Amino acid sequence: MEYRILGRTKLRVSALGFGASPLGDVFRVTDPAEGVRSVHSAIDHGINFFDVSPYYGAGVAEERLGRALSGKRTGVVLATKCGRYGASSFDFSAVGVRSSVEQSLRRLQTDYIDLLQVHDVEFGKVEQILTETLPTLQGLKESGVTRYIGITGYSLRTLLRIAEAFPIDTLLSYCRYNLLVDDLDQSLTPFAVAHQVGLINASPLHMGMLTESGAPPWHPAPLQVHEASRRALLVSARLGMNISEAALGFCLAHSYVSSTLIGMCTQREVQQNILAAGTHYDASLYKALLESVEPDRNVIWPSGLVDNLD
Ligand code: NAD
């Protein structure tokens, strides 16, 4: 496993990170015991970076991850979030953040978090996030509850606006850098590089779309993106490749991202993804895959408050 330093932090994270949202049954109902085994298998294979949120399964993912990490906390870089609690349930207030973090610590069976992130900032008012939410996270950092702080979201414009105005340690964006989209590199990556902010890329499979079984029913992408993904699936099959492994390999080759977070909930997925992380993929494979998704590459969807849309 390759490890990279997360921006200016002292965190050394595995290039392949464990996204724990599937443990909260976000994609499908999962077997909790298999979820625990998948976390243990990930640790055994050198994955040390785990990302979760109270939003994933309304606390279920944190609870299951906490159970799996019990007795294994040392050496793990644990990231969770605050501010988002449901599809349309948000609370970016100071009181809400403090209460959320207390509950996260209990569910995760730990007394500190390595990285506390404001979840999906485009659903909050930028002014509140700058004057109330992030100062509260900063206070939690100063009191040792969390070692570092960051923000996450889909809207690159909102992430950038906030990062330019408040000294955060990390940025996490999702569905903005993979086989179907690469606009992360037009705005957020140059900023992160210039300011040495840690950059985390989530959803290398475009939230389950770049898989043989296809996207979950709630996926927000327009139809043309689903169709582009199906074309990529056909090309990878023709070339004898598994689409998910190829898609993950593409993301892992990014030159600045410290960790690519892929959602996992089975030992089989962990093993497959570890294998993909260690594989060198021929450039001609990516040429064919990227050609297959044109002209529907970089098609995005609206997310967040009207003022915060990209
Ligand atoms: P993803 O693109 O990683 O896809 C996950 C889906 O693919 C799951 O259904 C998983 O079971 C499946 N999968 C994983 N490996 C596979 C393989 N080898 N073959 C076939 N299927 C496979 O999407 P994601 O889970 O949304 O993103 C990864 C993680 O990033 C999340 O779990 C979460 O931790 C983080 N994330 C954060 C935010 C945010 O903060 N706003 C948003 C999205 C994701």
Amino acid code (one letter) for 268:
R
Protein residue whose Cα sits closest to atom 31 of ligand 1: 19
Ligand 1: does its nearest atom lie under 6 Å from the Cβ of 269?
yes
Q: How many domains does the chain have?
A: 1
- Summarize pLDDT for 7-58 with one digit per residue, the tens: 999 999 999 999 999 999 999 999 999 999 999 999 999 999 999 999 999 9
Ligand 1: which of 233, 261, 308 to mutate, judged by most atoms within 8 Å of the beta carbon? 261
Give the model's confidence band at 103: pLDDT under 50 very low, under 70 low, under 90 confident, else very high. very high
Predicted pLDDT at 281: 82
Model pTM score: 0.97
82, 119 contact by CB (below 8 A):
yes
Using the mean position of ligand 1's atoms as its centre, give its distance from the Cα of residue 192 in Å.
23
Q: What percent of the chain has pLDDT over 70?
A: 100
Q: What is the DSSP string of 174-200?
A: ESSSBTTB-THHHHHHHHHHHHT-EEE
Ligand 1: does its nearest atom lie under 6 Å from the Cβ of 119?
yes
Using the mean position of ligand 1's atoms as its centre, give its distance from the Cα of residue 206 in Å.
8
Largest distance between two CA atoms of the chain: 55
Cα separation, 201 vs 100, whole angstroms = 24
Q: What percent of the chain has pLDDT over 90?
A: 97
> What is the arithmetic mean of pLDDT over 206-214?
96
- Tell me, rounded to whole angstroms, the distance of Cα 150 from its chain centroid: 12
Give the model's confidence band at 283: pLDDT under 50 very low, under 70 low, under 90 confident, else very high. confident
6, 198 contact by CB (below 8 A):
yes
Ligand 1: does its nearest atom lie under 6 Å from the Cβ of 172?
yes
- Summarize pLDDT for 247-280 with one digit per residue, the tens: 999 999 999 999 999 999 999 999 999 999 998 8
Using the mean position of ligand 1's atoms as its centre, give its distance from the Cα of residue 54 in Å.
16
Ligand 1: does its nearest atom lie under 6 Å from the Cβ of 54?
no
CATH number at residue 291: 3.20.20.100
Between vectors from CA 183 to CA 254 and to CA 90, what angle results, nearest 5°?
100
> What is the arithmetic mean of pLDDT over 180-184?
98
Cα separation, 34 vs 14, whole angstroms = 22
Give residue 212's domain range.
Answer: 3-308
Using the mean position of ligand 1's atoms as its centre, give its distance from the Cα of residue 153 in Å.
14
Q: Is 56 a catalytic residue?
A: yes
Ligand 1: which of 203, 218, 242, 248 to mutate, judged by most atoms within 8 Å of the beta carbon? 203
Predicted pLDDT at 44: 97
pLDDT > 90? residue 303: yes
Q: Which of 55, 56, 85, 148 is catalytic?
A: 56
Using the mean position of ligand 1's atoms as its centre, give its distance from the Cα of residue 57 in Å.
14
> What is the arithmetic mean of pLDDT over 142-150?
98
Residue-averaged pLDDT of the chain = 97
Nearest to residue 175, comparing CAs of 203, 211, 209? Answer: 203
Ligand 1: which of 51, 260, 262, 301 to mutate, judged by most atoms within 8 Å of the beta carbon? 262
> What is the arithmetic mean of pLDDT over 227-246?
95
Ligand 1: does its nearest atom lie under 6 Å from the Cβ of 68?
no
Ligand 1: does its nearest atom lie under 6 Å from the Cβ of 221?
no
> What is the arithmetic mean of pLDDT over 101-113?
98
Predicted pLDDT at 213: 93
Give the model's confidence band at 282: pLDDT under 50 very low, under 70 low, under 90 confident, else very high. confident
Q: What is the DSSP string of 32-89?
A: HHHHHHHHHHHHHTT--EEE--TTTTTTHHHHHHHHHHTT--TT-EEEEEESEEETTE
